[in-house]
Structure 1
């Protein structure tokens, strides 16, 4: 039995945790919450949006919120998580604050994108109206 686990958590754009030495991990899939200890059998599952919790070799607990992901244990000691998006935190309160900030940033960026889309749409309508509008009636006789 291996004395420790090696944890890697990655997203398509960044590696959040790279080969960290841990002693235990808790995660959640469709069937519920589960724990992993050194020596675990090979295992593969799909994570639901949840908070991963693990204890490092120095007994400090760490957290990572994931939207979804693929969770794999191999060789009884390698834990790999590939997720769409993840946010790390040193405590649940810190994690909640980071998630709230990331959510606010996504909302703000979505709002900016919608404003820009509306501006471009209005500009396209103005261009169409200029093209379709008949020529100015200046120079014609009045009534």
Structure 2
């Protein structure tokens, strides 16, 4: 079986002859062996480990990715970031916690951006409404979800 772990900027792992892979998604840990059915799952910040043809174990720390199994002989992981054994040694014991914290920070930033966008759209709506009100036609007001149900 072949395992490929890649990020937007590099191919972190590309190994043939993998005998088993162990990973973890939001539902828990799972294993993949040669001949596995086609499969797709989302990976949070987690450690993926594998056993190669010589019996050596390897691992990579993956930051939020998509794992797919194709034809029982190819496992691909596309991740935001991924670190191999050698890189993990320099990151230290707190690598997993740091990556989880980075994900939480990105979630907060994304939520703030969404709120700012909605506030801007509401302000644009108010400006447009004031111009139309003076012209005598007023469209229905949008609610917070933008469905147009607020005035009804």
Superposition TM-score tier, normalisation by shorter sequence: 0.5 to 0.7
Where does residue 84 of structure 1 map in the other structure?
Answer: 80
Task: Measure how far apart 1:17 and its partner are.
Answer: 1.2
Task: Measure how far apart 1:21 and its partner are.
Answer: 2.2
C-alpha distance in structure 1 between counterparts of 2:31 and 2:70, whole Å: 15
C-alpha distance in structure 2 between counterparts of 1:8 and 1:43, whole Å: 15
C-alpha distance in structure 2 between counterparts of 1:64 and 1:19, whole Å: 12
Where does residue 6 of structure 2 map in the other structure?
Answer: 10
TM-score (norm 1): 0.61
CA RMSD of aligned residues (A): 2.2
Unmatched tracts of structure 1, length 5 or more: 107-143
TM-score (norm 2): 0.58
Task: Measure how far apart 1:48 and its partner are.
Answer: 1.1
C-alpha distance in structure 2 between counterparts of 1:65 and 1:75, whole Å: 25
Q: Is the 8 A contact 1:87 1:99 kept in 2?
A: no
Where does residue 116 of structure 2 map in the other structure?
Answer: none
Alignment of structure 1 residues 115-126 onto 2, 5 Å: none
User: Which digits, 9 at most, give the CA deviation of each residue in 1:101-136, with x for residues without a partner?
Assistant: 996xx9xxxxxxxxxxxxxxxxxxxxxxxxxxxxxx
Aligned residue pairs total: 96
Q: What secondary structure is seen at the aligned counterpart in 2 of 1:58? A: coil
Higher strand share: 1
Alignment of structure 1 residues 36-115 onto 2, 5 Å: 36-89=32-85, 95=88, 97-100=89-92
Q: What secondary structure is seen at the aligned counterpart in 1 of 2:19? A: strand
Unmatched tracts of structure 2, length 5 or more: 99-152
Task: Measure how far apart 1:38 and its partner are.
Answer: 0.5
Task: Measure how far apart 1:46 and its partner are.
Answer: 0.3
Bigger radius of gyration: 1
C-alpha distance in structure 2 between counterparts of 1:87 and 1:101, whole Å: 13
